[in-house]
Chains A and B, each alone.
Chain A
Amino acid sequence: MKKLLVVDDEEEICDFLKAFFEEREFDVHTAHSGAQALDSVKSASPQVVLLDVHMPGMDGMSVLRQIKQGYPGVKVIMVTAIETQEKIEEAMRLGADNYITKPLSLEYLEKDVQEKISLLTGKK
């Protein structure tokens, strides 16, 4: 089963993404903070993580760094309210697999997530 972790401090955002991807037969886990996200990566071992950049406490960038260090096989898609060039470059340097802005286009997001997963399964 395709496993997805959605990380956002806004519960409502996690909720609709969960509903959306569950309808598409994903096993969706959610986390509302950086710390929770790292726990979930460890316990649920998702294939793809949708990671919000701006979160109170540990922000998306440090979560990204730790995921990529500990679990290099996990694909991470960064989600943010504003795109700045520096942030994009920083994310790319840390190994992010894509960088998308809010409001989200679910069609695009679904396509992207599917693509990342097929990349993973293709490798295997």
Chain B
Amino acid sequence: MGLYLKKRKRFLKKVLLGLILFSSGAAVFSALSLFLKQRAGLLWISHPLFLLLMMTLVSVTLYKPLDSAVTQIFRNYFNRKKTFRQITLMNLAEELALILDLKELANLIVNSFGEVLQLKTVALAVPCRMRGDFEITAAYGWSVSDYRKIRLPDSSAMLTFLRQNGPHVQVRERAVRMMSWQDANKLTQDFDALRAAWIIPLYVKDELTGFLAFSAFSPDAVFDESDFQFFREFARGVAKSIRNALSVQELKAANHELQDIQSQLIQSTKIKAIEQLATGIAHEIHNPLTIISGKAQVLLLKKDRAALDQQVEEVLKTIVKQTKRAADITRKLLMFSQGSGAPKEPLKLEQILDDTIALVSYQTSLDGIEIAKTIGSGIPRFYGNVHELREVFLNLILNAVQSIGSQGRIHVEMVYQAVDEILTVQISDTGPGIDQDHIEKLFNPFFTTRHDAVGLGLFVTKQIVHRYGGSIRVESQKGSGSLFIVRFPITASSQPIAQREEAVPLSLFPEGL
């Protein structure tokens, strides 16, 4: 790999050769003239013409062997450098086989290749199965934001060209010269985009698994056939490693997808089971609860209240309250299975959030919890069911209140990003935070860390948020509070699809006791 030294090298060689020839000619001539003058006394020997003749003779006889000798010396000197580089790169190619992470592998390849050969830019492009094009996974001498933008469609001039020409190293000028000007133009654009003067295609058998595009600092830099030979050998090793890493990546993606589907399946099976259970429970339990609560209420609401003992009255009130609580559990369980049919209307979410905060503010003021609120401007109407959305806010705020216990701060923020058409509600608290291994289970039904809770609040919340096409996630660290982020897409759910024929008045849903 002489690189751009090559032309200078040739010049140097010529000079050296000339010097040797001249000095040897001169030496032969002076030795001969001295000898002949003394022994034979031939004076014409010193004639310049004879000098010229001698020089020519010596040059002609010595040129060939000297030239090859000098070349040999040169090659030995420069090749030591070259072999060292080759060995480095071949060792690297062997090591690459052990790296299965595509990103790591690609970075190692471009950085080593670029540094060892002292190149200006190196880019490694690999196929992206999902989109069916080629993208640059790692680059040397590029800024990340620059190379991220570059995509080569499968039908691009470059890929077509590389597929036609097999595993040969492609030199920009040579490739372009052989084409019609339209094709050459397209190919030049691709070379430009890749900032490449050379391309090494990476083939595993007949499959193009990527390519290395690179350029040197000097525009005169040249590689020779033996360099290309080496590049091809290097490419074989690299191509295999990349093929492996790509397979591993695909496997990982497939595995993730499978896990997602599996967990969705488990979740939906769970939901189905809970739904059936809840419906059964609601029927079977609400009747006895109605009787217990009803009889207590009959006593409580007796016309002659004076007859009622103070203590008895307390007990009766507790009975009514606790039966309601028991009934609420099944009602919450049922909420997510029936919500899709809940009546929707354009809502002012900020209003609902206000109402919800007002609802808990009495309790929080007793506990020394401060609730701060930030509402962004331009919040659009949200097409939804008021009960469901109140449930979402209430659950999240109550969750924050309960995690704080007493003395702390809750910050509620609602903003609308018009660009993404996304409404974000963030609720942060100064509570003790959530254990990392609890975070995943947080939204599971019946998961709770409190002994007095059922563990349905966040589960129901998540179901409702998902029903509106939204997402909910939590960021928390033990000891530094929690942040719940709910995002609702506005386009999908906020547009009333059609006015409902039968608008059901809200008074149909008595709040009960």
Partner of B342, one of A85, A93, A99: A85
Partner of A103, one of B283, B323, B508: B323
Q: Mark A60-102, 1 if CB is under 8 A from B, else 0.
A: 0000000000000000000001111110110011000011111
Cβ A89 vs Cβ B323 within 8 A: no
Which residues 480-513 of B sit at the A interface, judged by CB distance below 8 A?
Answer: 502, 504, 508-510, 512-513
Q: Determine whether B334 belongs to the interface, using a CB cutoff of 8 Å to chain A.
A: yes
Please report the C-alpha to C-alpha distance between residue A13 and residue B338 in the assembled complex, in whole angstroms: 27
Q: Determine whether A54 belongs to the interface, using a CB cutoff of 8 Å to chain B.
A: yes
A102-B327, A103-B327, A104-B294 in contact; A88/B301 too (CB < 8 A)? no
Q: Determine whether A19 belongs to the interface, using a CB cutoff of 8 Å to chain B.
A: yes
Cβ B510 vs Cβ A89 within 8 A: no
Cβ B287 vs Cβ A81 within 8 A: yes
Q: Mark A7-21, 1 if CB is under 8 A from B, else 0.
A: 000101100110110
Please report the C-alpha to C-alpha distance between residue A114 and residue B392 in the assembled complex, in whole angstroms: 35
Q: Determine whether B244 belongs to the interface, using a CB cutoff of 8 Å to chain A.
A: no
Cβ A85 vs Cβ B298 within 8 A: no
Cβ A82 vs Cβ B297 within 8 A: no
Q: Determine whether B120 belongs to the interface, using a CB cutoff of 8 Å to chain A.
A: no
Contacts of B341 in A (CB 8 A): 84-86
Q: How many residues of B contact A (CB 8 A)?
A: 34
Please report the C-alpha to C-alpha distance between residue A10 and residue B292 in the assembled complex, in whole angstroms: 12
Contacts of B293 in A (CB 8 A): 103-104
Cβ A88 vs Cβ B508 within 8 A: yes
Q: For the side of the interface on A, what is the size category?
A: 20 to 34
Q: Determine whether B324 belongs to the interface, using a CB cutoff of 8 Å to chain A.
A: yes
A-B contact pairs, 30 of them (CB 8 A): A13-B290, A13-B291, A16-B291, A16-B294, A20-B301, A23-B298, A23-B303, A81-B282, A81-B286, A82-B330, A82-B331, A83-B509, A85-B338, A85-B343, A86-B341, A88-B504, A99-B508, A100-B510, A101-B510, A102-B289, A102-B290, A103-B292, A103-B512, A104-B294, A106-B294, A106-B298, A106-B301, A107-B297, A107-B513, A108-B512
Interface residues of A (CB under 8 A from B): 10, 12-13, 16-17, 19-20, 23, 54, 81-86, 88-89, 92-93, 98-108, 110
Interface residues of B (CB under 8 A from A): 279, 282-283, 286-287, 289-295, 297-298, 301-303, 323-324, 327, 330-331, 334, 338, 341-343, 502, 504, 508-510, 512-513
